[in-house]
Each structure stands twice: as structure tokens, then as C-alpha cells.
């Protein structure tokens, strides 16, 4: 099936201009006037030449030269001022349009499921939205004004070119035709696809660069500099290859032809003039012939200026089109569907009913017909081999993703018909790698409950066993994380995140490997914080350390997206199934130690 052709980038950009369309069109109108006025000085120069030729060799009788000079000056200054106001209008419209794009993009991202950000790195999203929006500014601020102005100038030129001698006019325009063909060769057809590949490589390089910088601490710890740099290096080399292929392989010859003919448009006049000169001499109107030749010689200089503007405008249009394609990848991000008739959950029971889920692009489901119930006040542990579907199952409860099939219920209500804010108020989650904001600990904890006072925050910090953290910080809970060399370890960050969850006091708690990166000392404190956080709550706990789930009310074993076992620790340990095997291997691992061999 043939895809519908997308509108031009200009039409697509106009959709984002909002209330600034009038300002943009005013700028374009002023640009057209400025370009036409820009031709007037050339006409004045021609009038000076005509005046001199008419009185030759008595040059002193040319009385209108000074008048034409002042007219040329007035037209030049007037054209510059009008063009200045035109660019003021188009720049303001361009900046507001780029701002609208960023705002609409952020508004779209605010409505996407949180799981979307797992597959779309922040560096990539920033490049697509912020960087690409900036690339559209040139089209509206400069290129579009030049396109409209140059079009107006060409119409005026066509009238003037054929006004005196159509043969000389055609000779001048021949250079323009060759230049336009050369520009289309560079920027049209299959070469437009090469430009898109080049822009795509720029996206990948930006993403790889951001991820590499973020991973520098890990790189230094494990001394993996060369290997870690490999992906970033490949992205740079791919970008370099595509840029070289486009500039050297595609643009070199057409651009050489373009510059040669636009800068030498005058050359085309010479053979035509030599052909017409004999007939002009025979008719006795050689002075008129010289006057016409002078006119076209002067105006041939305008052609190179006009074509240069067209070339840059065409290049800007291509860049804007590829930028818009990247922007639309953000604008087309999936949106979390909100029902028009939301229901309120009754209690904090969590139930999975024949739930299946498949990630976009995956061939096999991450969850396949999963069913279980977490009664209010129960602690349910999800365990199993890596890739078994534990985190996926937990992420469906707060709607990081929506189930492909089946139903996830909270309080007896499908999570898809619960108003998102109410659902999030009912669920608190603590991940294995929590990120804290670069602000005070007070504000980091209060993010869970913005109207909480200092006393409530302090109580939550105490419950999360954060007393030793606050004692060593210069300003206590008012200390800004990341400022003046103030940094927290992974375990300490985890306890701050737990304080945030405790302050939220949601009836349902999701713990995803919350002690994975904690040292033994921090793990003891985190476990104490868990006892406060989970008291009387419905808890969904994901863990690889099986010792942390032995007291769970129910353990659900997931393997390849399916529930293979369900029961308590004792029941499953004695069942001689997958859990029993995992328990034995876990115990062996905890007893494993390094010993030096004595010879």
C-alpha cells in the first residue's frame, strides 16, 4: 500500500505557529517588498550608464547622475530597513514556533506511559525535541523569508529581463536554469534520503554520547575504557561516513557547477551580444544596443545573489524536514489512555486476571496468561530467573505499560479505568536504582507529598533509618544533593527514596530489587525501613536474594513469562520445583568464598 505523501515542511511547521501566523506572514510580505526594492539601485545604476551613453563623449551634460545616485542610496537604505523589520517579524515567529514545538512535545511526553522512557534514552529525546526544534528556526526566521523575497524578485526580474531584449534576457536566465538543476540534483530525489540517513546518524551519535558520559564512573571503576568507547566510536564513524558520503559523493560536482554558472552568468551574454551587434550597427541603433547590453550586464549580478538565497533556503528546508520527522517521533509517542468515566478503587487488593504483555518489536510475550491475587495486607514475592517477567508484571500495576491481554485490577477495578492521579496516589514504588533530584533532601522526600511540612518529612526520614545520613551533612535535610561535593552512596540514596515512599503512605507498595546495590550495613537499615513502609500495606516484592522473601505470604515463581509455581517459602522449598532448585543454588552461592591454595 502506497504511503500518503507528507505535506511540505513549511505547511507542517505552520501547524505549530499558533497565534503567530499573522506575524510570520507580515514578515514574508515585508521581505518581498525589500527584495524588490533591492533591485532598484541596479536600475538606478543602469539609468546612470544610459545617461552617460546618451551624451557621450560630452559627459558633463549628464545632469541626472547625482539624482540617480541619491535615488539608489534611498532605495538601498529603504530595502535594508524593511528587510530588518521583516526578519524581526520572522525571527519572533520562529522563536515562538520552536517554543510551541517544545511545549507540545513536553505535553505529549507527560501523557506517555513511564515505560516509554525505558526504551527512549533522555539524550535521544532531547535531541529529537530540543535540538530539532532549534533546527526549524532557520527555516522560518531566514529561509522562508528568502524564498518569498526571491520569488518576488524573480517575477520582477522576468518582467524586466524580457522588457528590452528577450534574447539577452533568455541568456541571463540560462545560468539560473542550470543552477536550479544542479541544486535539485543535490537535494532532490534519492539524495534527500541520504540527508535523512545523515540526520539519523546524528541522532544515534547524540544518544551514544549522552550514554557514554553517564557511564564514565562505571568505565573508570572496571577499567573498560577501550571497550566502552567502542559504541560511541562506531556512532561517530558512522556519522562521519554518512556526512562525507553526502558532502563529497553527492554535493561536490553539482555545487561546483552551481557556483560556476551563477557567478559567471555574464559570460552567457557575450555570445548573444556578438550575434546581435551586426544587426544593431546596420540599423543605426548601436547606442540602444549598448544600453540594453549594459542593463543585462548589471542585472546578471543579481542572479547569483538570488540563486545563492534559493540554495540556502532549499538546504534549510531539507534540514527542517528531517528535524520535523524527528520531532514527530516524539509527537507520535504512545499516550496513556484515560477513560471518560473513571472508577475509584475499593480497597488495595491487587489481582492479575489472565494477563499477557508483549513489548513493541518483540516476537515473544514478556508475560503469558499470568494470574494471581495479592490480598490487602499481604506481601507477595515475585521471583524467578532473569527475564522471567517479574519487573514487567510489577510495572503493569501503576500503568507503566498496559496489558496486551487480560486485566490488572486494583481494588476490584481495572487500572485502565482508574483516573491516573488516583492510581498513582494508591501505589508507591521503590526501584533498585532510584534517582534523586539535584535539590535538598527535604524537597526530594517532599516530592511524594508536596504539602508535607518539615515535621512530616523528618518523621519519614527517621522511619527510613536516615538519621546517620542527616548527621554527616552540613545542613541536615536542607543540604542540596550534588552541591559542594555532597554526594550519597547507592544505599544512602535508596534510604532517601524509601523515606519518600513512607511519606507518600500509599496502600500498595511495589519493591523492585530495592536492596540490589546496597552494602550489608545499608541493607540492614533498608530492611528496618521496609518494616515501617510495608506495615499494613499490600506489597509486591521483586527479589533475586531469596533470603529477603522467605517471610512473604505468597511467593509466585515466574519463568519465561508464565507462573510455574505458587506457595509459601516452605511449600515451594519442599516441592522439588524451580524454586527449590533456585533456593539450593542461592545457599551454595552465599557459602562460596575465595581461598588461597597452599602448595
Instruction: Map grid coordinates 573508570 to a residue.
Output: 220
Higher pLDDT, 351 or 481: 351
Residues ≥6 apart with Cβ < 8 Å to 428: 448, 501, 504, 505, 506, 508, 509, 510, 533
Task: Return the DSSP state at 547.
Answer: G
First to last CA, the chain: 75
Q: Are strands 379-383 and 367-374 parallel, antiparallel or unpaired?
A: unpaired
pLDDT(514) > 70: no
Give the pLDDT score at 484.
Answer: 64
| pLDDT tens per residue across span 364-411 | 899 999 999 999 988 899 998 888 888 889 889 988 888 989 999 999
Classify residue 256 by burial, with Cβ atoms within 10 Å: 0-12, 13-18, 19+.
exposed
Domain boundaries, the chain: 9-331, 350-590
Within 8 A by CB and 6+ apart from 283, the residues are none
**Cβ-proximal residues to 325 (8 Å cutoff; 6+ apart), any chain:** 196, 199
Q: What average pLDDT does range 470-481 have in this prediction?
A: 85
Evaluate the omega torsion of the peptide bond into residue 5 and state whether it is cis, within 30 degrees of 0.
Answer: no
Least confident range of 225-229, 446-450, 567-571: 225-229
Which set of grid coordinates corresponds to residue 544?
Answer: 533475586
* pLDDT for position 1: 40
Residue whose C-alpha cell is 534510604:
495
Query: What's the mean pLDDT in 5-11?
Result: 74
Asked if pLDDT for residue 598 goes beyond 60, the answer is no
Nearest-CA neighbor of 392 among 593, 221, 563, 205? 563
Any idea which fold 350-590 has?
A: Rossmann fold (3.40.50)
pTM beyond 0.85: the answer is no
pLDDT of residue 356: 94
So what CATH class is 9-331? mainly alpha
Question: Three-state SS for 357?
Answer: strand
Mean pLDDT rounded to a whole number for the chain: 79
User: Quick check: 516 and 432 in contact, CB under 8 A?
Assistant: yes
High-pLDDT (> 70) share of the chain, %: 82
Residue 351: what pLDDT?
93
Q: What is the pLDDT of residue 225?
A: 54
H or E element that contains 355: strand 350-357
* pLDDT of 188: 64
With a pLDDT cut of 90, the percent of the chain lying above it is: 12
The answer, yes or no, to whether residue 595 has pLDDT greater than 60, is no
Condensed to tens digits (0 to 9), the pLDDT of residues 12-60 reads: 888 888 888 889 999 999 998 998 888 788 778 777 777 777 777 776 7
**In b/e form, how buried is each residue of 22-41, taking b as 16+ CB within 10 angstroms?**
ebbbbbbbbbbbbbbbbbbb
- Please compute, for residue 474, the number of CA atoms within 13 A of its CA located in the half-sphere on the CB side: 9
Q: Report in angstroms the alpha-carbon separations of 180 from 10, 177, 187, 295.
A: 20, 5, 10, 23
Amino acid at each position: 500500500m502506497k504511503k500518503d505523501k507528507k505535506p511540505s515542511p513549511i505547511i507542517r511547521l505552520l501547524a505549530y505557529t499558533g497565534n503567530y501566523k499573522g506575524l510570520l506572514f507580515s514578515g514574508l510580505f515585508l521581505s518581498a517588498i525589500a527584495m524588490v526594492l533591492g533591485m532598484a539601485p541596479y536600475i538606478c545604476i543602469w539609468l546612470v550608464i544610459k545617461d552617460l551613453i546618451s551624451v557621450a563623449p560630452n559627459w558633463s551634460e549628464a545632469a541626472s547622475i547625482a539624482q540617480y545616485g541619491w535615488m539608489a542610496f534611498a532605495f538601498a537604505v529603504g530595502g535594508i530597513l524593511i528587510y530588518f523589520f521583516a526578519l524581526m517579524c520572522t525571527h519572533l515567529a520562529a522563536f515562538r514556533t520552536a517554543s510551541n514545538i517544545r511545549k507540545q512535545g513536553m505535553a505529549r511526553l507527560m501523557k506517555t506511559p513511564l515505560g516509554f522512557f525505558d526504551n527512549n534514552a533522555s539524550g535521544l529525546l532531547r535531541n529529537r525535541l530540543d535540538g530539532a526544534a532549534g533546527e526549524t528556526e532557520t527555516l522560518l526566521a531566514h529561509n522562508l523569508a528568502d524564498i518569498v523575497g526571491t520569488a518576488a524578485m524573480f517575477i520582477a526580474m522576468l518582467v524586466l529581463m524580457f522588457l528590452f531584449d528577450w534574447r539577452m534576457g533568455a541568456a541571463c536566465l540560462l545560468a539560473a536554469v542550470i543552477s536550479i538543476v544542479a541544486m535539485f540534483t543535490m537535494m532532490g530525489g534519492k539524495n534527500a534520503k541520504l540527508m535523512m540517513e545523515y540526520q539519523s546518524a546524528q541522532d544515534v551519535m547524540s544518544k551514544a554520547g549522552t550514554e557514554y558520559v553517564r557511564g564514565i564512573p562505571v568505565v573508570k571503576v572496571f577499567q573498560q575504557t577501550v571497550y566502552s568507547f567502542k559504541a560511541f566510536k562506531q556512532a561517530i564513524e558512522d556519522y562521519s561516513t554518512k556526512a562525507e558520503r553526502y558532502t563529497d559523493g553527492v554535493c561536490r560536482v553539482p555545487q561546483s557547477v552551481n557556483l560556476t554558472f551563477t557567478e559567471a552568468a555574464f559570460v552567457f551574454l557575450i555570445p548573444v551580444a556578438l550575434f546581435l551587434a551586426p544587426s544593431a550597427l546596420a540599423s543605426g541603433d548601436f547606442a540602444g544596443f549598448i544600453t540594453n547590453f549594459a542593463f543585462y550586464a548589471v542585472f546578471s549580478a543579481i542572479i547569483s545573489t538570488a540563486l545563492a538565497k534559493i540554495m540556502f533556503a532549499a538546504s534549510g528546508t531539507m534540514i527542517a524536514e528531517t528535524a520535523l520527522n524527528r520531532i514527530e517521533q516524539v509527537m507520535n509517542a504512545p499516550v496513556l489512555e484515560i477513560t471518560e468515566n473513571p472508577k475509584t478503587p475499593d480497597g488495595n487488593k491487587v489481582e492479575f486476571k489472565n494477563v499477557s504483555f508483549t513489548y513493541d518489536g518483540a516476537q515473544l510475550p514478556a508475560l503469558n496468561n499470568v494470574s494471581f491475587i495479592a490480598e490487602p495486607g499481604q506481601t507477595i514475592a515475585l521471583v524467578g530467573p532473569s527475564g522471567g517477567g517479574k519487573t514487567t508484571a510489577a510495572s503493569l500495576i501503576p500503568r507503566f505499560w498496559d496489558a496486551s491481554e487480560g486485566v490488572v485490577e486494583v481494588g476490584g477495578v481495572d487500572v485502565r479505568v482508574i483516573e491516573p492521579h488516583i492510581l498513582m496516589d494508591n501505589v508507591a514504588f521503590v526501584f533498585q536504582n532510584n534517582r534523586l533530584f539535584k535539590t535538598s533532601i527535604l524537597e526530594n522526600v517532599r516530592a511524594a507529598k508536596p504539602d508535607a511540612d518539615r515535621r512530616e518529612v523528618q518523621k519519614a526520614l527517621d522511619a527510613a533509618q536516615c538519621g546517620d545520613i542527616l548527621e554527616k551533612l552540613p545542613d541536615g535535610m536542607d543540604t542540596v544533593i550534588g552541591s559542594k561535593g555532597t554526594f550519597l552512596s547507592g544505599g544512602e540514596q535508596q534510604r532517601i527514596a524509601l523515606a519518600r515512599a513512607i511519606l507518600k503512605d500509599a496502600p500498595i507498595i511495589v519493591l523492585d530489587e530495592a536492596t540490589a546495590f546496597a552494602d550489608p550495613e545499608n541493607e540492614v537499615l533498608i530492611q528496618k525501613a521496609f518494616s515501617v513502609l510495608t506495615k499494613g500495606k499490600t506489597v509486591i516484592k521483586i527479589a533475586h536474594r531469596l533470603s529477603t522473601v522467605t517471610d512473604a505470604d505468597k511467593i509466585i515463581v515466574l519463568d519465561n513469562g508464565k507462573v510455574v509455581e505458587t506457595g509459601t517459602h516452605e511449600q515451594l522449598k519442599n516441592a522439588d520445583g524451580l524454586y527449590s532448585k533456585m533456593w539450593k543454588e542461592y545457599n551454595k552461592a552465599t557459602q562460596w568464598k575465595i581461598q588461597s591454595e597452599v602448595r
